[in-house]
Structure 1
Amino acid sequence: MKVKKESSRVVKPIYEGTPPPSTSSYIPLSVFDKVTYDNHMAVIYAYRPPTPPNAALEVGLRKALAVYREWAGRLGKDDDGEPAVILLNDKGVRFVEASVDSTLNSVMPFKPSTSLLALHPSLKGVEELLQVQLTRFTCGSMVVGFTANHLVADGQATSNFLVAWGQACRGLEIDPIPFHDRNIFSPRDPPRFEFQHKGAEFMSNKIKKGYPSVDNIIMDDIVVHKVHFSSEFLTKLKAKAGTKKGTNKSYSTFESLVAHLWRAVTKATSLGGLETTTVRISVNGRSRLNPRVPMEYFGNLVLWAFPSAKAKDLIREPLSYAAKLIHDAVLKVNNNYFKSFIDFANYKAEEEALITTADANKSAMFPNLEVDSWLRFPFYDVDFGGGCPYIFMPSYLPTEGTMFLLPSFFGDGSIDAFIPLFQENLASFKQIHRRNDNIIRKSMMFLDAEKIEWCYQLCSVLLALYSA
């Protein structure tokens, strides 16, 4: 797929009436912004014709930027050279127009590969906080490549903006309006450090995480494997995970699937039995803080759960063992945990010169994993005027162990997982996954047979009673 860049320019917000001052306004980064990944993330949208013209998307973008001014600004740094504020200077965002001399069908379905990198602007050395690339195909289809600086907003906030951009393109009022106040996370007086945040969100500057071997990894050592989990498979997987101890409630689809993937990847990497493996799971704080923060909050409001286990226990124990570890760890990231983090980040982190554990430059997580769930974000609601996207997916991100989960475009409850693995572990992972799939199917067939036999016996009894 050869992508031809037609134009590249900076576009700025369009305001109704008198524009706000753009010389002295700024928004300080919150403790949640500063603890997240300092890099650009990219997503890909594919749309079938008819699609609106580029000019309409540009005007809609400029209108949306007037409501989400942060994206059109720039990062300001503190005396140590670290990002500290978002300057609301309206310097604008990057807008690129491109074309491909072929049809979309000839390159679909998009698979995780380096070819995706040509469908959005570069992620390196970017001054703009947001970038857009519109790529047109000869069939009339359009791909929107979108990149955004993670320090400005998390997945929830970014997806809200994308929906707003679509509304503006269709001539609609932006609804809901974003909640911009990042000064709501004040530490308590006196502060209370109720949880261990050193080793979770923060670490000593002297500690280098990871195995020595990961420093020498090149892109070719890692392959991003895409797996489609049907709704039928996910239902059976939940049944296999069972119910939470002491309740009649099943583990969630997310808990069951992450438990399944954690075990499969651990087996595929042949991790030593006594070694510990940990999963880093994003937890949205909007509904967990008390009082609740609106879902329209624009910024970062995510911390992480860290379920961990010895490799031998993870592999030897049933799926329910891993599901319980995940459930319990996520449950602990509650209101008290978020407030303890706010206190720690404001007092202890700077005092002890700690750095964040969210390292955007790591090429491998081994022996650990990270799971980014986009299952609840309204990415498929992004309609620029020609309907919802045909496909939505992350760009090519070959960071071993960093998995993305997102709803499939089939819209039937199925899930697509993007799983970066070491090339040498791919064949083993595929084999393990196929074997687990067969085990689940056979076990559920047995259960179905039991149900059929039970129903047959019940009907026989009822028929006998009726005849008598």
Structure 2
Amino acid sequence: MKNPPIIKQISESFIMPNLNELNDVKDPYFLAPGDLAMLSAHYIQKGLLFYKPSTRIEEFSIEIFLEKLRDSLSRTLVLFYPLVGQLTTKINDDEHTCLIYVDCKKGPGVRFVHATVDLAVDDILSPTDVQPITKLFFDHHKAVNHDGHSSPLLSVQVTELEDGVFIGCSMNHAVGDGTSYWNFWNTWSKIHQQHSTTLSLPVLERWFPEGHGPRIILPFTRTDEFITRFEAPQLRERIFHFSSDSISELKKKANREAGEPQKEISSLQALSALVWRAITRSRCLAPDERTVCSLDANLRQRLNPRLPHGYFGTAIWVAKAAATTDQVLGNNLGWTALLLQKAVLELTNQTVRNVFESWMQSPFVYQIEKFFEPNSIVIGSSPRFDMYGNDFGIGKPVAVRSGYANKFPGKVTTYPGREGGRSVDLEICLPPDEISVLESDKEFIAMTVEGLHV
């Protein structure tokens, strides 16, 4: 890669929806328990890399492209109007409490940044590691969600490369989760393409535990009581590719070894078990050390009645499995996958309701350094999210990349593979020495595209 690449900001603007099109705006817009618990986490930062149209790259007008993006974004925000608001806090010193909500009339709108960098698409695609420069393809670098009191809840940065374009979105995680985030992207893409008849409209009505809401009072008056700023240690962020055939074979292997046909192990559970085993080996833990694997779980389909897929908010919890090192490595892949499956199946409607009822009795805000145990693996995002279907008139994305946000040792982010089918890409964050061990792990690498070509 050319050294050193420099991001140059060309322009900045703020995008608002057409106010004449807004109907039934809820203001103030109250946040649910799942939203408020995320106040100390980072913004969601994901982005898509595109080639400029290859047949007419010299004729490509970035100005026209940006203007069309701004226009379609403005129309999209009519449906997602809370994103143009700003977090607001009302403090009750006498009771040592506060109320945090979105003021939809106070916000500056969505920040829209145009930047350039002297790099080619292949400079981003070719290395197996995520390049450090990609962190600068996003606004809100290192921002936590509580910063939404003074910063936009959504920011879009369009970075022009020599032969491509990267569109990076930073969205406040206290306003929406990964499902909400990619629903926003998908809606924006469809509106941009004038496919309004296929829109799946967001559901902005928040879910609260029975007997609670919409005004959720937090037992804090000072920011330092519930907000911390986690700084990640030195990490390598490595991309591993798994083909559809490899994922199918992995699922068959896990189910064969589990030997319980009535409890079919899913593709993601099998892949997660493979990752848990490999990262545990890379950490060289003692046989009796505890290790934990957590899967981010979408709660929409786990509640009864279910929340709609278009529910716009934070509706996630973790399915957590724990075992000692010798249990994870002394048993086979199927055993580990069954342990993960058990954790997922335990997230029933009643369990979820109990979790949030307990939270209401003693509200807390997640702190990364405290919420996840040592030797943890946290598997987030989803290969089911429609990332490569987002088309803004210049063709299909060629890659998904993420920013600095919410990364720590053992964080694994799942993406769909660009070729579709069951293919999956994993972005694994580990200290450099542990990634080096992982790259030579025979069981793990054999299932990747690289391993299949050896």
TM-score by length of 1: 0.79
2:239 aligned partner: 226
Deviates more, 1:422-431 or 1:53-62: 422-431
4+ long deviations beyond 4 Å:
19-22, 80-83, 243-246, 360-365, 435-441
Cα 1:14–1:109 change in 2 (3 A) is farther
1:85 aligned partner: 101
Please give the alpha-carbon distance, in whole angstroms, between the structure 1 residues aligned to 2:193 and 2:432. 44
1:173 aligned partner: 196
SS of residue matched to 1:105: helix
Cα 1:114–1:436 change in 2 (3 A) is closer
Structure 2, unaligned runs of 5 or more: 54-59, 213-223
> Structure 2: which amino acid aligns with 1:137?
L
Cα contact 2:84–2:104 (8 A) shared by 1:
yes
Cα contact 1:43–1:145 (8 A) shared by 2:
yes
1:186 aligned partner: 209
Please give the alpha-carbon distance, in whole angstroms, between the structure 2 residues aligned to 1:345 and 1:70. 24
Please give the alpha-carbon distance, in whole angstroms, between the structure 1 residues aligned to 2:320 and 2:47. 29
Identify the match of residue 143 of structure 1 among 166, 185, 205.
166
> Structure 1: which amino acid aligns with 2:156?
V
Between the two proteins, what is the percent identity of the paired residues? Answer: 23
Please give the alpha-carbon distance, in whole angstroms, between the structure 1 residues aligned to 2:109 and 2:278. 44
Which of 1 and 2 has greater Rg? Answer: 1
Identify the match of residue 35 of structure 1 among 18, 34, 37.
37
1:429 aligned partner: 438
Deviations 1:41-96 (A, max 9, x none): 21121122337610000011111111101111111224268672111115201110
1:48 aligned partner: 51
Please give the alpha-carbon distance, in whole angstroms, between the structure 2 residues aligned to 1:439 and 1:225. 16
Map 1:204-223 to 2 at 5 A.
219-220=233-234, 222-223=235-236
Query: What RMSD in Å do the two structures reach over aligned CA positions?
Result: 3.0
Structure 1, unaligned runs of 5 or more: 190-204, 207-214, 445-468
2:115 aligned partner: 98
Cα contact 1:120–1:132 (8 A) shared by 2:
yes
Identify the match of residue 236 of structure 1 among 249, 260, 267.
249
SS of residue matched to 1:233: helix
Cα contact 2:113–2:156 (8 A) shared by 1:
yes
Identify the match of residue 374 of structure 2 among 362, 366, 369.
366
Please give the alpha-carbon distance, in whole angstroms, between the structure 1 residues aligned to 2:168 and 2:381. 20
How far 1:186 moved relative to its partner? 3.2
Please give the alpha-carbon distance, in whole angstroms, between the structure 1 residues aligned to 2:174 and 2:410. 22
2:414 aligned partner: 405
2:382 aligned with 1:380, yes or no?
no
How far 1:368 moved relative to its partner? 0.9
How far 1:31 moved relative to its partner? 1.0
Deviations 1:218-261 (A, max 9, x none): 643x2112211222322222222125554255411101111011
* Paired residues, number: 407
2:154 aligned partner: 130
How far 1:102 moved relative to its partner? 4.3
How far 1:124 moved relative to its partner? 3.5
Please give the alpha-carbon distance, in whole angstroms, between the structure 1 residues aligned to 2:115 and 2:236. 27
Cα contact 1:120–1:147 (8 A) shared by 2:
yes
Cα contact 1:364–1:401 (8 A) shared by 2:
no
Please give the alpha-carbon distance, in whole angstroms, between the structure 2 residues aligned to 1:45 and 1:438. 28
2:393 aligned with 1:389, yes or no?
no
Cα contact 2:113–2:158 (8 A) shared by 1:
yes
Please give the alpha-carbon distance, in whole angstroms, between the structure 2 residues aligned to 1:106 and 1:274. 43
Cα 1:438–1:53 change in 2 (3 A) is closer
2:336 aligned partner: 322
Cα 1:339–1:122 change in 2 (3 A) is closer
TM-score by length of 2: 0.82
2:77 aligned partner: 65
1:192 aligned partner: none
2:178 aligned with 1:152, yes or no?
no
Cα contact 1:38–1:360 (8 A) shared by 2:
yes
Cα contact 2:250–2:447 (8 A) shared by 1:
no
Please give the alpha-carbon distance, in whole angstroms, between the structure 2 residues aligned to 1:219 and 1:440. 27
Please give the alpha-carbon distance, in whole angstroms, between the structure 2 residues aligned to 1:162 and 1:428. 36
Cα 1:410–1:438 change in 2 (3 A) is closer
1:15 aligned partner: 19
Please give the alpha-carbon distance, in whole angstroms, between the structure 2 residues aligned to 1:330 and 1:363. 18
How far 1:114 moved relative to its partner? 1.5
Please give the alpha-carbon distance, in whole angstroms, between the structure 1 residues aligned to 2:132 and 2:368. 19
Please give the alpha-carbon distance, in whole angstroms, between the structure 2 residues aligned to 1:424 and 1:152. 36
> Structure 1: which amino acid aligns with 2:68?
A
